[in-house]
């Protein structure tokens, strides 16, 4: 998400907060995710952020309403609506598959968002709880990751679909393996591009084009992921403490 925003908005100042001390959100209760989401939003607002992007699908499912209340008129963008709209914008569909965490699947937020935009289109969700820790471990090309993908996608056997939403911000890091597993005829949808396009249309205030990163755990623990997915300059890294 951050890389897509930076590419689309080269002059905007971006502040990223990764709640690395408390992830994964996908295994937490709805109430806990809502609380964590508001903690993050409150910190970003205190830092002077004018618009908020909820880049986590589970936080979008369970925390968007609370974040909007805190935002006090600031625009809040969340990935579930963006991903569903991107799927709908592709036109007529045989079916849509959604890969996501258990929390996001359990919320049924994607089902509602897709049914609102694509009534009557067959939908199927698959919870993939092992993929996030594998990506966090850096197992992008590990055989265990490929095996887990095959196992999860077996749940879609017999279901006809021509597009698949990557319902977790970790999944684009293993996009190639997911594409290989479903075949070239299936369109993979990452909401990052949709949100970046929406923010570009709205026109963010110009800044110095700087990117700051903040983490709630030791930033060094996330350095390998940052190096892989964010090929741009970073102008500050800090650790925050929830207390």
Cα–Cα dist 166/189, whole Å = 6
Q: Where are the domains of the chain?
A: 2-78+193-239, 80-191
Structure tokens at 32: 């806990």
Does the structure show a pLDDT above 90 at 225? Answer: no
> Tens digit of pLDDT for each residue in 53-78?
999 999 999 999 999 999 999 999 99
**Helical spans, DSSP H, in the chain:** 2-8, 30-46, 57-71, 79-89, 102-107, 109-117, 131-136, 143-153, 175-182, 191-202, 223-229
> Tens digit of pLDDT for each residue in 136-190?
888 999 999 999 999 999 999 999 999 999 999 889 999 999 999 999 999 999 9
Quote the pTM value.
Answer: 0.90
Architecture of domain 2-78+193-239: 3-Layer(aba) Sandwich (3.40)
Q: What SS3 state is found at 146? A: helix
Two domains, one topology: 2-78+193-239 and 80-191? yes
Instruction: Give me the CATH code for the 80-191 domain, please.
Output: 3.40.50.1860
Residues serving a catalytic function are 56, 168
In degrees, rounded to 5, the angle at the alpha carbon of residue 105 between the alpha carbons of residues 99 and 111 is: 90
Cα–Cα dist 95/199, whole Å = 28
For residue 31, name the pLDDT band (cuts at 50, 70, 90).
very high
């Amino acid at each position: 998400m951050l890389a897509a925003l930076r590419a689309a908005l080269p002059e905007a100042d971006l502040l990223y907060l990764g709640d690395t001390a408390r992830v994964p959100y996908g295994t937490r209760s709805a109430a806990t995710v809502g609380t964590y989401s508001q903690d993050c939003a409150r910190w970003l607002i205190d830092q002077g952020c004018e618009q908020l992007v909820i880049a986590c699908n589970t936080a979008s499912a369970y925390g968007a309403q609370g974040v909007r209340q805190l935002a006090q008129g600031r625009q809040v963008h969340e990935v579930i609506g963006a991903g569903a709209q991107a799927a709908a914008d592709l036109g007529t569909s045989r079916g849509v598959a959604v890969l996501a965490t258990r929390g996001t699947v359990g919320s049924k937020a994607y089902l509602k968002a897709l049914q609102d935009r694509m009534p009557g289109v067959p939908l199927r969700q698959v919870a993939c709880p092992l993929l996030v820790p594998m990506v966090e471990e850096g197992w992008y090309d590990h055989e265990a990751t490929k095996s887990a993908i095959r196992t999860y996608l077996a749940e879609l056997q017999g279901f006809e679909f021509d597009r698949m939403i990557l319902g977790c911000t970790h999944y684009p890091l293993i996009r190639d393996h997911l594409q290989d597993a479903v075949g070239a005829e299936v369109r993979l949808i990452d909401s990052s591009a949709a949100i970046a396009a929406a923010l570009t249309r709205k026109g963010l205030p110009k800044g110095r084009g700087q990117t700051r990163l903040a983490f709630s755990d030791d930033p060094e623990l996330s350095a390998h992921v940052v190096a892989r997915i964010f090929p741009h300059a970073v102008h500050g890294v800090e650790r925050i403490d929830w207390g």
